[in-house]
Structure 1
Amino acid sequence: MIDFKKELSKYDFLKNFTELASKRNEKVYLVGGFVRDIILKRSRDEMDFLVVGDGPEFAKELANQFNVGKVTIYKNFGTAHFNYQGISFEFVGARKESYNRHSRNPEVAPGTLDDDLNRRDFTINTLALSLNKDSFGELIDKFGGLNDIENKVIRTPLDPETTFNDDPLRIMRAVRFAAQLQFDIEENTLKAASQMAERLKIVSQERITEEFFKILAAPAPSIGLKLMYENGIMKVVFPEIAELGGVEQRKDFHHKDVFYHTCIVVDNLAKVTDNIWLRFAGLAHDIAKPKTKKFIEGIGWTFHGHEEIGARMMKKIFHRLKLPMNKLHYVEKLVRLHLRPIALVEEHVTDSAIRRLAAAAGEDLDDLITLCRADVTSKNPEKVSKYLSNYDRVMEKVKEVQEKDKLRAFQSPVRGDEIMKVCGIPPSRTVGEIKKAIEEAILDGKIQNTYEDAYNYFLQIKDEYLKKEK
């Protein structure tokens, strides 16, 4: 059994809470995730405090003791926030909530400790530790949250339909906790989440996307992805991913079903990178397969062009999911190029083809290869080994070529201002066409990637392009 008093003694500042609660004749408790994570031995830098009394006033007085200048007060919800010693402190006055069916913003009224614990999302988050003088370190466990943590179960404290109806975002949070903690969702809780998935439509897209990306950031994102897909939640949140289910593909180095193949790809990425946008690219890499599926006799199902169409789908998806547009190009690029490297494993592949891949991928080449390696999901160890070694060969070829001509961030050695000066022309399309022709000549191996060769080639071709301008 955990000695909670000993755990709390690690934080000297908590004695200030005890003294202030006594002075104000109020009760204060450490609640929710921090208590849960003490039991799970997970580190955490957020503390939630429940004040049976005036939470914001308690926070302001405490902040004054700690010489903290900035306290953020949310009057509508009776909450307050400030940071201290690298920890985010959240304060709330004990409250009870009622909801309008068409909004997830509650009507709030003062309440008791029981009222406040009743309104919480899951039993594992209803645990509270007393910070009060007469009961310091005592665990309040009204709903059996400790037992659910030990049994690795996600369940709602009240009837799950009531809990999800009040705040549908809790459906996503249930999936997120299952993925993060690798817990199971209790049967009735999961059934209600499935039946009420459509209620997510009243929740802001930003909040849904935030929870979805926390699922993607989990150690094994497939736990959450499968829960969403198999219980109808994905169809509401990300229909393009739901549509991957049941789409068959050739099994050579993939799982037969595109959705389950995608789950393995994302898990493979999660084992080697925390880059959430690389994980998202893995999720989206085959997103156009349902649109491009075609059966060819003797070959089976094909998906010609799915990489290009998938890349083109990204802009609309980014807008709908309210994703940051500065990440769009990165994801588009990886989706567009994810089939390119495997085509370059043959012995006779030219330096030119290698250069084109390196130029297209630019600084994201390593991420592209990481995605390609994650894309190998066969259950046949020999095939996996073969395909992974193929990607090793591609990278060896890339390094050889890059060492020869330092092409990683390729541009014509002859710059636009020099072209304009020699040709006596202003900025124009012709300048870009000449630069492009020089780059193509280098990529095709016609000339070396040196200034001298590029400049001489420019002198040879410039008249041809100047004629077109006239």
Structure 2
Amino acid sequence: MLTRTHEAIPEIMYRIGDLADETGLPCYIVGGYVRDLIMQRPCTDIDIMVIGEPVPFAHALAEKLGGRNFVLFERFRTAQLELDDPKAGTFKLEIVGARKESYNPESRKPITSIGTLEDDLSRRDFTINALALRLNRKERGEVVDLFDGQRHIREKLLKTPLDPEQTFSDDPLRMMRAARFACQLDFQLDEATLTAMSTMSSRIQIVSRERVSHEFFKIMEARKPSIGLKILYSTGLLKEIIPELTVMAGIEQVDGLGHKDTLFHTFQVVDNLAEHSDKLWLRVSALFHDIAKPVTKRFHPGSGWTFHGHEAVGVKIVARIFRAMKWPLEPMEYVQKMVRLHHRPIPLSKEEITDSAVRRLMFDAGPDLDDLMTLCRADVTSKNPRKVQRIMKNFSNVEAKIAEVGEKDLLAKWRPPVSGTDIMELLNLPQGRTVGIIKSRMENAIIDGDIPYDRQAALDYIQQVYREMQEKGEA
């Protein structure tokens, strides 16, 4: 089916089409840019497809249109470059030739050969991405839509061009992309696509953790991550990639007493947090904040369910997930800190708040204190508005107390006024356990307000502690 777009095509695209006419090549914009053009969404990454040899055409674009940052992938008949448009800015282009694909069942890497326009469009993941916009002068602006992609855009429906089981068997990563597009575009998956994802979910194991993680993070960065997370859970994909999350689902009843469904509570916490922060690793922290509840869950007759120590156990599970998913280790310490501390502000909100308790929270959270409080607020998922109002007021009291503590800015970026090296030099001690004990006691004395944040006061206190340790035979 052919229809014509009403949106303006950037001027540089006209020049690409004119050059294609000069070389006698049918030329199209394909994929996500066409979808986004129809949906009036911004996009600067463009796939240009020609029916013929793409590499000489890519060289001609670079030479005649001033292309920059040219990269050639000759084995794949593909090139990348950047072109500037006078009004629309810089576009990143990928120049490809129409191709058809076949797959080895043990790999998602396609065996490619030269194909037709129909071959190329039919191999794509979803109908909304199987659209081509003609650039040649004679038919410029016409959309080639062989699989009702424009109708599915209007219906906000995700559907595969071919049989979904075949589509997902060929490239299982497309199942992750289905959940991601549902999140990003607020689209529904058609029933056959969902069923196929459930049937084929175990096949995601042939995809590298890095590629799976890339799509997973896109879901976590969406406006409402729970859309994609629920799709991953309902199709079994979540169990395949992060099984520690799926065991959080369900409500166990003993003596008529149950606990809330931790997984769906967690999805709500992630959504709540996403309304206030776009920090990826804070959102991941929200996803993992109760990760250890299933393994720490205990039922006590008369008092009900407890999850004692789930924060400490959660820190270990987070490390295991990071290693299994091959995530960067640099943000792991931050996520572990959020998981370890996410319950700490709650007791403070329920009782008389002492300066020392606030100082200790500030010391432990450090520069991430604001993120921790954002997570704590997001963790309130009660459907009782009066209860929510009361809890939020208590958190506001905690935040007000934090503001009142005179050393807030100092403690938020707290560094002890005396280092371990200073202690060794002052007391003529080698590095070891004694220095660590003295340093820890000095830090606690400052946090508890026993001595001021002052270098001389800290040095005097260190000497006092060392004398006491010597008298007791501990040094």
TM range (shorter): over 0.9
1:421 to 417, 421, 425: 425
2:298 to 294, 301, 313: 294
Tell me if the contact between 1:5 and 1:138 (Cα under 8 Å) persists in the aligned partners: no
Tell me if the contact between 2:68 and 2:82 (Cα under 8 Å) persists in the aligned partners: no
Q: In structure 2, what is the equivalent of residue 327 of structure 1? A: 331
3-state DSSP of counterpart to 1:71:
strand
Give the superposition deviation at 1:108: 0.4
Give the superposition deviation at 1:434: 1.8
1:224-269 CA deviation, whole Å, 9 max, x = no partner? 111111121111121111111104599xxx9921111011001001
Matches of 1:68 and 1:189 in 2, distance apart?
40
What percent identity do the matched residue pairs reach?
48
Q: Which amino acid aligns with 1:7?
A: A
Q: In structure 2, what is the equivalent of residue 44 of structure 1? A: 43
Give the superposition deviation at 1:393: 1.2
Give the superposition deviation at 1:369: 0.6
Matches of 1:26 and 1:249 in 2, distance apart?
67
Matches of 1:146 and 1:32 in 2, distance apart?
12
Q: Mean Cα displacement is larger for which, 102-111 or 240-249? A: 240-249
Instruction: Tell me, yes or no, if structure 1 residue 101 matches structure 2 residue 105.
Output: yes
1:132 to 129, 133, 136: 136
Q: In structure 2, what is the equivalent of residue 444 of structure 1? A: 448
3-state DSSP of counterpart to 1:407:
helix
Q: In structure 1, what is the equivalent of residue 173 of structure 2? A: 169
Instruction: Tell me, yes or no, if structure 1 residue 278 matches structure 2 residue 304.
Output: no
Matches of 2:220 and 2:301 in 1, distance apart?
37
What is the alpha-carbon root mean square deviation over aligned residues? 2.1
Matches of 2:141 and 2:408 in 1, distance apart?
66
Tell me if the contact between 2:169 and 2:200 (Cα under 8 Å) persists in the aligned partners: yes
Q: In structure 2, what is the equivalent of residue 53 of structure 1? A: 52
Match runs of 1:40-439 below 5 Å: 40-85=39-84, 86-247=90-251, 256-403=260-407, 406-439=410-443
Tell me if the contact between 1:248 and 1:301 (Cα under 8 Å) persists in the aligned partners: no
Q: Mean Cα displacement is larger for which, 393-402 or 33-42? A: 393-402
Matches of 1:365 and 1:110 in 2, distance apart?
56
1:186-241 CA deviation, whole Å, 9 max, x = no partner? 11111011110011111111111111111111111111111111121111121111
3-state DSSP of counterpart to 2:417:
coil
Matches of 1:281 and 1:249 in 2, distance apart?
28
Tell me if the contact between 1:94 and 1:112 (Cα under 8 Å) persists in the aligned partners: yes
Matches of 1:164 and 1:433 in 2, distance apart?
58
3-state DSSP of counterpart to 2:82:
strand
Matches of 1:268 and 1:377 in 2, distance apart?
8
Q: Which runs of 5+ in 2 are unaligned?
A: 85-89
Matches of 2:350 and 2:274 in 1, distance apart?
29
Q: Mean Cα displacement is larger for which, 429-438 or 189-198? A: 429-438
Matches of 2:198 and 2:273 in 1, distance apart?
28
Q: Mean Cα displacement is larger for which, 357-366 or 440-449? A: 440-449
Tell me if the contact between 1:266 and 1:279 (Cα under 8 Å) persists in the aligned partners: yes
Matches of 1:22 and 1:297 in 2, distance apart?
80
Matches of 2:291 and 2:209 in 1, distance apart?
20
Runs of 4+ with deviation above 6 angstroms: none
1:383-414 CA deviation, whole Å, 9 max, x = no partner? 11111111111111122224478322223323
Distance 1:6 1:348, change over 3 A: closer
Q: In structure 1, what is the equivalent of residue 87 of structure 2? A: none
Give the superposition deviation at 1:333: 0.2
Matches of 2:185 and 2:281 in 1, distance apart?
22
3-state DSSP of counterpart to 1:97:
strand
Tell me if the contact between 1:248 and 1:258 (Cα under 8 Å) persists in the aligned partners: no
1:366-392 CA deviation, whole Å, 9 max, x = no partner? 001100000000011011111111111
Give the superposition deviation at 1:6: 4.7
Q: Which amino acid aligns with 2:25?
A: E
Distance 1:83 1:249, change over 3 A: farther
Tell me if the contact between 1:249 and 1:301 (Cα under 8 Å) persists in the aligned partners: no
3-state DSSP of counterpart to 1:287:
coil
1:135-159 CA deviation, whole Å, 9 max, x = no partner? 0001111100000000000000011
Distance 1:20 1:466, change over 3 A: farther
Give the superposition deviation at 1:425: 2.9
Q: Which runs of 5+ in 1 are unaligned?
A: none
Tell me if the contact between 1:249 and 1:258 (Cα under 8 Å) persists in the aligned partners: no
Instruction: Tell me, yes or no, if structure 1 residue 4 matches structure 2 residue 5.
Output: yes
